[in-house]
Structure 1
Amino acid sequence: MNSRRQQTGVETVELTFGQLLHELREGRKLSLSELAAGANVSKGYLSNLEHDIRSPSAEIAEAIDRALDAGGELADLAVPRPRARATRDRIRPAQLPAALRSFVPRQEALDQASAAFAAHEGLIAFDGPAGVGKTAFTVHWAHTIASYFPDGVLFTDLRGFAADAPEDPAVVLGRFLRALGTSPQDIPSDLDGRVALYRTLLEATRTLVVLDNAVDADQIRPLLPSSPQSLALVTSRNRLSGAVVQDGAVRITLRPMSSDEALDLMRSVLGTRVDGDLAAARVIADRAGRLPLALRIAGERANLLPTVPLRKLADELTRRQPLDVLTADETLAVRTVLSWSHDALPAPIAATFRQLGLHPGGPIRIEAAAALIGLSPLQAQGHLSALATVHLVEQTSQDKFVMHDLVQAYALEQVRELADEETNREALSRLVDLYLNTGAAAIRMLWPSRPRRPLDRLPADVATLTFHRPADAVRWFEDELQLLVRLVRHGARWNVTSVAYLPVVVNEMLFHRRAWSWWVPALRDALEMARQGGHRDAEAWVLETLGDAGIDELKAGSSVGLYRQAMRIRIELGDVSGVAGCHVGLGRACYQLNDLDAAATHLETARWLSTEAGDRWEFAVASAHLASVLAAGGDVAAARALLTEVQAIFDEAEDLMSSGCTSTLLAGLAESGGEYEAALHHLENALRTFTEVADVWSQAHIHRRVGDLHADRGNLHEAHKSWSAAADLLSGNTEPTAAGLRKQLIESLKEDF
């Protein structure tokens, strides 16, 4: 190790680079962090230098020397040691494959890689899912930094996820040693001997080693250079946690391209055709999952037909299975690349991967995976973590994972091929049972005063989410709203008739949330499944819910027939409360059709039947709607008295959702009579209630109504505050009803400024 002699009295002390560095830093009263920032190196690297664990390059020593104003003392100690053989005798390998000419920079990953390189890290691991462009990115970046490694560049494909077996490190070392000038007869036969010789040859050199497509940390460890001036780059579908923990690797995860990056890549392949039909190009990019491999295959397919518009390819990708379209040849296909990942999995994990293909799409909860694969949530979490390690799923939060659309399409292909239809249907039935149980638990928490009539089908005993507060149940429903729709439609395609009960168990929330543009098609599927499975009670529920949707869509005439069909089934089943509910629906339909007498008759009948059945919740609902009819007929006092009675019923039952809705009805009654202060008072009560249960949708509605009240009174400042609050609450909500409301609010804000 290079050193400097220092005279102290009669004794001469020889200081190493690390000792002198420590002495100078302490003398200038700098912390490791302060010096690291000044010299643009990492704090850990400086610590290793001070303890003489690593030796600096001349450039790094000069940077530290300048930061310490050492006048060249440190830089002089960093003169490289003589090598085993003269430079002119050493072979300089240059094994990097050619970089892609049409490479599109991935700026975020480039920034991370550059930062790791500047910090003089010795091992950088690039991981990510199949087809995400790890090799192309790493080879391109390796070309840009190769000039910093005058002793050469070694490259190998470790075939960690190829169709055949991964490369043996001993075989790879044999090739590396020959590339470094070792004659075949001098190469040891055993792994340990080859590792020792390899590290000896690379000692004190500046060599770049690129290890592509590694299967795990054990495969790469013998191939890592020991020289602190050298750098190893590794790519893998595996997260290589062992290399991060044991070898100090810096992990950089490559994800699918951004929309702009994907379009840039398509331009590099297709030229001006992309901007000639940008909408079609975006569809192609999205259907290809913005994966570079899939995008290049799509571009090649389009290039084969240069006169055919891009929209034809976009339509084909939308209409057909994308895996069938994204194929250049038997070896260059997204399906083939995914098969290598699947085939490398242990059998139980591979089975889990395939069964996840049955999921209807979107984030996958741990409990949902457990239901599909028939394991406990703890076991399912272990399987999901194993799949996340090789990027076949990605973890998005503590209890949720997502599967790329193309990956899920492949998993579904495999589960259809390798498992019989009845087994797959049973797995989906377990998933439906999970959501039946969880949905029922959420509704019990939110509408505790409503009697829950037993279903004619008991869900299986599967793990169920539990809710400790109403706010948890509301958040669950908002999170799972689209998944519930997908599950009904997906289950119907598999003839899982139990999906008919999903809109039954969450019926109150469907009515409250009114996301009918999503739900009406699913309700029609549920109705078909109810009839196919002979689930008469579910059939009645779905008919009523379709009637409710018709009223909200101002189609009360069609709703009447639906309620009457449901009523006949309720009578057949002897369900008195259910018959009362049908009369409530008919009363609402007649009210919308302006037949107030018929509306009042139906609602009074509903009140009487619910009293007979001992169902105070249905009685209160019928009374609330009767109040609207009475108010429309001019009897405001009677309407107010009824609503006050209704609110007392819900408050006594601690039914916050129903109480909040009643407050909004009281506000409407006050507003219609010109009692603005009273209306604001009731809306503030409703807002407090919906805030307590974290019902963002209802809070937004209340803020909008408060804003409208202020605007009617000429107070535009307060109106804008309320409208802005409502718009902020709905920001990012893609459900069409919520998105439409937000658009209206924004237009109101623009018009009044």
Structure 2
Amino acid sequence: MEAGRRTGGPNAVRNTLPGSVTGPVVQAGAVHELHLNTRWKPVVPAQLPPPPSALPGRDRELAELDRCRATPGRLPLAVLSGPGGIGKTALALRWLHRIRTDCSDGQLYVDLAASDPAGPVPPDKVLQWFLHALGVPPEDIPDEQPEREAIFRSLTADRALALLLDNAASAAQVRPLLPATVTGVVVVTSRWRLNGLAMHGARFVEVGPLGPAESTAVLAEVIGPERVAAEPNAAERLVSVCGGVPLALTLVAARLRTRPRRPLTREATALAERADLLRLSTEDDPALRAAFDSSYESLPPAAARLYRLCGLYPGGRVRADVLAAVTGEALGDVEEGLDELVDANLLAEGPDDHLRCHDLLRAHAREVARRDCPEPERAAAARALVEWHLDMLVRADIVLHPHRWRVGPRYARLAAEAPAFPDARAALRWLEHEQQAMWAALREAAAWGWSDLVWQFCEALWGFFTHHQHYTEWIQVHEEFGVPAAQRRGHRLAEVRLRGQLAFALAKVHRYPDAARENEKALRLAKAEGHEPSIASALSQLGRVARGLGDLTTAIEHYRAAARLQDRLGIPRGVALCRRRIGEVLVELGRVDEAVVELEAAARIMVEVGDPVQHARALVRLGTLHGRQGRAEEARRLLHTALATVRDLGSPHHTAEVLAALGELAADGGDPVTARDALTEAVALYAAAENPRAGALAARLRELP
């Protein structure tokens, strides 16, 4: 047969199609001669590798893939993107095998080798493989790519084929391989986002880490559920170390499967350092490091530098403005470089202005920073990141606690600048949002041996701590990092400050002997330094310990001594704090009239100095006292005034304090419904902070009718 014949003139074209064929025939433009030989027998290829044996979960991603087939009249094209080792290929195979009965004309598969040292497989080579798989003999496959594309489209037109284009390097590599069918399906996997395929109607599915339950199921599938059940805590640690990365999970599980007597606890301990996990590999699977290296090595220089900085960034959430501030680069340039990392799936977009760096990728980024950056350059970058976070922490603490005297050298400088936050509520919200980065920055400073920064972090975290009061971490950080750092620097006043902060938390968890020891050390150091504000603080803290031990007379003596000293020093807020505490002890002693005088004075002074939180706390004590004396209406008025203040600030600890008082007032007044609501919320807030009051209030809840 003959088609597309045009005669005459120097540019005459004559396209011929010799032989008889079945199926559609296309006009191929200036291809000149397109031979479809009658020897080409229809072939139903079955090239998909077997489905993975262990890949539970992934319900969200599977649903996304199902949706890509929901639009009639368009080629279902899905792009699975994610970092190396995240399970893109396994997910694609699982889904394609699930729908294979709908693809009656077969399946084609190719590894496009995006990360191969020799370079990605060119499309013309892939087309040669595909044409052969579809029944075209090698001798009939044309040499030029356009001709191969034309035949491929002809052979795939309207056929129910499934194609898996695995490990693609770019949209340009994929486009020539798209079939001319709307009844089949194409899945592309890539470490890059391949945004250029959007014009072909692609549905983009980000493949992230597995959740804890899914990760545990993978582990159990490979090593057996009985080993996981026998050591559930160790299994949980292994899952945590692997960070939900399927390649990491399967590497660990494969090693454990070949060592059936190896305890999971031992394996978890051995892999606690993620660098060890990066080195793991099996005969069939590459090491995680190789998977991550290939992505890193393809980055342009500016993006590669930012990736190394991500390894030094405190915590797993990265901000463009912080990187711009510490590098001195324009924000737009930094954002452009971070976009490169997002496209390479080395960072993931978060729900806010942060980007997320997976723990294993962060470990890899830190490793390449050690490998590719001289230590002075790396240390300077790490310190700049840590100091940025310390400066912001100090700025927030200044707004949260404007009346507190400080030891840290940054306070005077930063207090002279315009406030970084409009009010205490905004400062607290920011700290809550950034707390992971703040704690990580403190630990980063400790890891580098920057003791001068470590103790400053501990002092500056006080404002955040007073509103959340997470005692376990606070005590650990002060004992392990803060106090030793101040001692190494020989900064006695810093040591006094941190011992006082530590003693406060120890007393709150009823470790009174330990709290007394820290306070006595702080008092001795403060006296040796002749620093009277520190002496007053230590005396007040000793009053707290005496009260906790039941020595109420000694407690009042310490509080009054501290109040007299602070009055002489002109520190009215300190005086008010002592008077409130004296009032609390007087209530316990049954000296109610004296207590009212002290509590009302404390409340009045806190209004005068502008401390709404401590004013609210004084109102709580007065409200509780009024309730005990039968003045329920006045008690409710004071307590609700206090609750409005602390709720407006968003302080969990102080909110729990007021709710507990309101719950007790309602219970005593015969209103169990209101009491239950208030006490339930208070228990939840206290429990989140590991406050011992949670247990006592929970017991009180059980007593309600």
TM-score by length of 1: 0.79
| Distance apart, 1:160 and its partner CA | 1.9
Could you say what secondary structure the match of 1:209 adopts? strand
2:48 equivalent to 1:96: yes
Please say if residues 48 and 108 of structure 2, whose CA atoms lie closer than 8 Å, have aligned partners that are also in contact: yes
The residue aligned with 1:35 is: none
2:163 equivalent to 1:221: no
Could you say what secondary structure the match of 1:251 adopts? strand
The residue aligned with 1:210 is: 164
The residue aligned with 2:61 is: 109
Q: Distance in 1 between matches of 2:550 and 2:557?
A: 13
| Distance apart, 1:726 and its partner CA | 3.4
The residue aligned with 1:273 is: 226
The residue aligned with 1:358 is: 312
464, 477, 493: which is aligned to 1:522?
Answer: 477
Deviations 1:116-172 (A, max 9, x none): 223345211112232221111212322333343344432211122345522333332
| Distance apart, 1:349 and its partner CA | 2.0
CA pair 591-510 structure 1, distance change in 2 beyond 3 A: same
| The 10-residue stretch of structure 1 (412-421 or 130-139) with the greater mean CA deviation from structure 2 | 412-421
124, 135, 139: which is aligned to 2:78?
Answer: 124
Please say if residues 288 and 322 of structure 1, whose CA atoms lie closer than 8 Å, have aligned partners that are also in contact: no
CA pair 718-147 structure 1, distance change in 2 beyond 3 A: closer
The residue aligned with 1:443 is: 397
Please say if residues 659 and 678 of structure 2, whose CA atoms lie closer than 8 Å, have aligned partners that are also in contact: yes
2:362 equivalent to 1:408: yes
| Distance apart, 1:693 and its partner CA | 1.0
Q: Distance in 1 between matches of 2:575 and 2:266?
A: 57
2:24 equivalent to 1:82: yes
652, 656, 681: which is aligned to 2:612?
Answer: 656
Deviations 1:203-256 (A, max 9, x none): 344433221111232332232223333432101122223323x22211122222
Please say if residues 371 and 427 of structure 1, whose CA atoms lie closer than 8 Å, have aligned partners that are also in contact: no
The residue aligned with 2:107 is: 153
199, 202, 215: which is aligned to 1:262?
Answer: 215
The residue aligned with 2:33 is: none
The residue aligned with 1:715 is: 671
| Distance apart, 1:394 and its partner CA | 2.3
Could you say what secondary structure the match of 1:228 adopts? coil
Could you say what secondary structure the match of 2:164 adopts? strand
CA pair 191-539 structure 1, distance change in 2 beyond 3 A: farther
2:530 equivalent to 1:588: no
Deviations 1:306-350 (A, max 9, x none): 233444433433477551674325952222222222222222222
The residue aligned with 2:559 is: 603
Q: Distance in 1 between matches of 2:269 and 2:669?
A: 52
Could you say what secondary structure the match of 1:627 adopts? helix
Q: Distance in 1 between matches of 2:24 and 2:154?
A: 13
The residue correspondences of 1:396-475 to structure 2 (distance < 5 A) are 396-450=350-404, 455=409, 466-475=420-429
Q: Distance in 2 between matches of 1:185 and 1:346?
A: 41
Q: Distance in 2 between matches of 1:595 and 1:239?
A: 67
| Distance apart, 1:560 and its partner CA | 4.0
2:634 equivalent to 1:682: no
The residue correspondences of 1:148-547 to structure 2 (distance < 5 A) are 148-182=102-136, 191-192=145-146, 194-244=148-198, 246-274=199-227, 276-277=229-230, 279=232, 280-318=234-272, 321-323=275-277, 326-329=280-283, 332-370=286-324, 375=329, 379-450=333-404, 455=409, 466-497=420-451, 498-524=453-479, 525-547=481-503
Could you say what secondary structure the match of 1:130 adopts? coil
The residue aligned with 1:705 is: 661
The residue aligned with 1:24 is: none
2:454 aligned partner, one-letter code: V
Q: Distance in 1 between matches of 2:53 and 2:391?
A: 55
Q: Distance in 1 between matches of 2:113 and 2:693?
A: 53
CA pair 159-198 structure 1, distance change in 2 beyond 3 A: same
Please say if residues 428 and 496 of structure 1, whose CA atoms lie closer than 8 Å, have aligned partners that are also in contact: no
Please say if residues 435 and 502 of structure 1, whose CA atoms lie closer than 8 Å, have aligned partners that are also in contact: no
Q: Distance in 2 between matches of 1:539 and 1:356?
A: 33
CA pair 109-509 structure 1, distance change in 2 beyond 3 A: closer
Please say if residues 559 and 581 of structure 2, whose CA atoms lie closer than 8 Å, have aligned partners that are also in contact: yes
- Number of aligned residue pairs: 668
Give the gaps of 5 or more residues in structure 2. 1-21, 27-35
The residue correspondences of 1:639-650 to structure 2 (distance < 5 A) are 639-650=595-606
Please say if residues 352 and 373 of structure 1, whose CA atoms lie closer than 8 Å, have aligned partners that are also in contact: no
Please say if residues 619 and 642 of structure 2, whose CA atoms lie closer than 8 Å, have aligned partners that are also in contact: yes
Q: Distance in 2 between matches of 1:364 and 1:721?
A: 39
Please say if residues 287 and 318 of structure 1, whose CA atoms lie closer than 8 Å, have aligned partners that are also in contact: yes
RMSD: 3.5
Q: Distance in 2 between matches of 1:693 and 1:141?
A: 49
Could you say what secondary structure the match of 2:210 adopts? coil
CA pair 662-149 structure 1, distance change in 2 beyond 3 A: same
Deviations 1:594-622 (A, max 9, x none): 55555444434433443444333223223
CA pair 639-512 structure 1, distance change in 2 beyond 3 A: farther
Give the gaps of 5 or more residues in structure 1. 1-79
Could you say what secondary structure the match of 1:679 adopts? helix
| Distance apart, 1:271 and its partner CA | 3.3
TM-score by length of 2: 0.84
Could you say what secondary structure the match of 2:299 adopts? coil
CA pair 605-424 structure 1, distance change in 2 beyond 3 A: farther
Could you say what secondary structure the match of 2:442 adopts? helix
The residue aligned with 2:19 is: none
Deviations 1:658-706 (A, max 9, x none): 2222222323443555654443332212111011112233223322332
CA pair 576-283 structure 1, distance change in 2 beyond 3 A: closer
Q: Percent same amino acid at aligned positions?
A: 28
